[in-house]
Amino acid sequence: MLVEGALSPSNCRAFMSGEAPRALLVEGALSPSNCRTTMISVLDEVLEKVNILDIVSQYVKLRRTGRNFVGLCPFHKEKTPSFTVNTEKQIYYCFGCHEGGNAVNFLAKYERSSFSEALETLAHEVGIEAAGRLSARRTPVIDALSKLADYYHESLLRYAPAVKYLDDRQIKGPVIAEFKLGYSERSIYGKEFAKRLGIPMDLLLSTGILKMRDGGEVYDIFRGRVVVPISDMRGKVIGFGGRAIVRDALPKYINSPESPVFSKRSVLYGVDKAKREITEKDEAIIVEGYFDLIALHAAGIKNSVATLGTSVTEEQISRLRNYTENITLMLDGDEAGVKSALRLITLFAEMGINGTMVVLPEGHDPDSFIRLHGLPGFQRVMGEKKALLDYFFDLHVKKHGMGTLEGRMAFIRSVVPYIEGMRDAVKKRLYIQRLAELTGVEEYRFWDTFRDGRRETERCEGEETGSAIEEKVVGIVMNRPELLRLVKGTGVEATIGDRDLGEVLSRLLKYEEEHPDPDIKLFLNVLERPELREKAVAAALGGAECDEQEVGRIVSDYLCHRENKLIREQGREITEKLVEAEKRGDEEALRELLERKKNVLTAMKNKSAK
């Protein structure tokens, strides 16, 4: 019998960790299979309704290539797109880092959440009730943060000093509403507060925004500050920033503590509002603070995002690169800001980013500059932007000078590593020409000192390897289940060189027995190991590209080739045994082996005749 409520999320989690209450362990009510069946039921419903292209295109800039859509992989550095989405099979795969799966796998990987958390997010989006059927932990926290954002916003509208502070910064009502700016009152929170928000107090405390003193009093880390909600790519609130409104208050800015849903090193403020404009303009502008970003958006510059008080990180650039390869840094005019930006030269080169920089007049940040000079002033300084390496040249010429031998040598030592690492041959030559002009050293001297990065190992484009052919065959039968009849009973799955690929085919044959005309995106759900899913997705995408007129022949030819290979191997094995039997003088073994050899030769002759 099934105990009422046995398959609740908490009980499923408890069972999986070995902590289930003994009373619930009734006739398998809390078996792993029941918990898994519940998840698969929701998963099947979600995958029937969701379109993987709609999900992935929110994070990755895709273009159609034949039957597939391709783009730069969001999970590793690359300059040539190897990330592929197939809408027919509703799967994605990266041929560079081998990440692959369905829409839920993608969302879980991108947002660094668990599979069940990503599944519940998508279930909610397509109108499937899953809250009582899954064990996701991320969603309640997101809901709590969303309600806190509503509370802060309402508090701001009631607190005149906070509204005046924003008004003094030329942040008016429509902008306050667009960014849902708020204010945290200086008060102690009790159970009534949690009840009013409809959020358990322990959940509020788990966000790290509310804290409890030793005496039991609960307070807000943002108390007395204007609060800025920070959202993820999908517009869900994942944290907050706070700005003190009292002069000389320290620290001036604080952020939400790090948590499973919030990491300031990977988040870009405003990206949920800017991503469409970034894609359309094919350029992103990065500034350093919330109010810089708000000021630019209020002025109509909506392809801008902001860091959260940290230097620009590789994670942030990786996420932004999915919308554009053109990034402009708009920084304060101090030397520290410039040096921070110049550290990105190597990263931008590795990721194929066209990086430029705008340095504002000393004493200005983007917020103060645009308030003083307006949109025309902004457009003027944007017209003066330079490539990051050009700024690097200017900084080091100024720092070292070209008037002495020591100055020229110091300059060369500073800039050569960046030029040497360039992959764009034309750009590299232009910078070497400029370096030669500035230092008076002949161009060829620099070429002589560089590693020869222009040679690339040429790959043979001859016949496909055995593993590639095996993957193609498995991919073909995954895409065209009617061809599985050719494979059934041959035992080919046990002879495939790649064990994981062989297991994929074996599992597919078993799956097809229970699910005639199997759906690949649902088949992926039964492959527990990520390695198997990766092999399956890679094979399915490769098989989808094969010519419809050729697929049957490819499978038949492979099976024929495999049979011939087995016959030849059997023949060699018999020959070796014949030699051994002859050495021993074992006439009975010789007669038996000669008969087997005759049968093998007959089989080979019959194969050749066909």
Read off the pLDDT of each residue in 160-179 and give the average, rounded to a whole number.
96
Q: What is the rounded distance in angstroms from the CA atom of residue 241 to the CA atom of residue 230?
A: 7
In the prediction, which pLDDT does 20 show?
38
In the prediction, which pLDDT does 461 show?
36
Question: Which tens digits make up the pLDDT trace of 440-484?
Answer: 888 878 887 765 444 333 333 333 456 788 888 888 888 888 888
Amino acid (one-letter) located at 346: T
Q: What is the rounded distance in angstroms from the CA atom of residue 72 to the CA atom of residue 75?
A: 9
In the prediction, which pLDDT does 21 show?
39
Q: What is the rounded distance in angstroms from the CA atom of residue 60 to the CA atom of residue 71?
A: 7
Angle, CA 523 vertex, CA 518 and CA 528 arms, to 5°: 160
Model confidence at 587: pLDDT above 70: yes
pLDDT band at 362 (very low <50, low <70, confident <90, very high): confident
Model confidence at 586: pLDDT above 60: yes
Read off the pLDDT of each residue in 117-123 and give the average, rounded to a whole number.
86
Q: What is the mean pLDDT of the chain?
A: 82
Question: Which tens digits make up the pLDDT trace of 241-278?
Answer: 999 998 888 899 999 999 888 988 889 999 999 999 99
Q: What is the rounded distance in angstroms from the CA atom of residue 259 to the CA atom of residue 531?
A: 29
DSSP three-state, residue 509: helix
Neighbours of 65 (CB within 10 A): 11
CA 45 to chain centre: 24
Model confidence at 425: pLDDT above 90: no
Rg over CA atoms, the chain: 32
In the prediction, which pLDDT does 9 show?
39
Model confidence at 163: pLDDT above 60: yes
User: What is the four-CA torsion angle of 573, 578, 579, 584, rounded to 10 degrees?
Assistant: 130
Neighbours of 322 (CB within 10 A): 24
pLDDT band at 606 (very low <50, low <70, confident <90, very high): low
Q: Which residues pair with 570 in a beta bridge?
A: none
Q: What is the rounded distance in angstroms from the CA atom of residue 278 to the CA atom of residue 276?
A: 5
* Reported pTM: 0.66
Question: Which tens digits make up the pLDDT trace of 481-524?
Answer: 888 888 888 888 888 888 888 898 888 889 888 888 888 888 88
Residue 140 φ then ψ, to 5°: -60, -35
Q: What is the rounded distance in angstroms from the CA atom of residue 473 to the CA atom of residue 483?
A: 10
Question: Which tens digits make up the pLDDT trace of 31-69?
Answer: 444 455 566 778 888 898 899 999 999 889 899 988 899
Model confidence at 234: pLDDT above 90: no
In the prediction, which pLDDT does 31 show?
44
**Least-confidence region, from 214-223, 343-352, 408-417, 591-600:** 591-600
Taken in order 16, 22, 24, 28, is the CA torsion positive or negative?
positive
Model confidence at 608: pLDDT above 50: no
pLDDT band at 334 (very low <50, low <70, confident <90, very high): low
User: What is the four-CA torsion angle of 551, 557, 558, 562, rounded to 10 degrees?
Assistant: 160
Strands 284-287 and 304-306 come out as parallel
User: What is the four-CA torsion angle of 541, 545, 546, 552, rounded to 10 degrees?
Assistant: 50
Among candidate residues 183, 144, 187, 150, the one with its CA nearest the CA of residue 164: 183
Question: Which tens digits make up the pLDDT trace of 556-577?
Answer: 878 877 777 777 777 778 778 7
In the prediction, which pLDDT does 224 show?
93
Model confidence at 2: pLDDT above 50: no
Q: What is the rounded distance in angstroms from the CA atom of residue 227 to the CA atom of residue 276?
A: 25
pLDDT band at 133 (very low <50, low <70, confident <90, very high): low
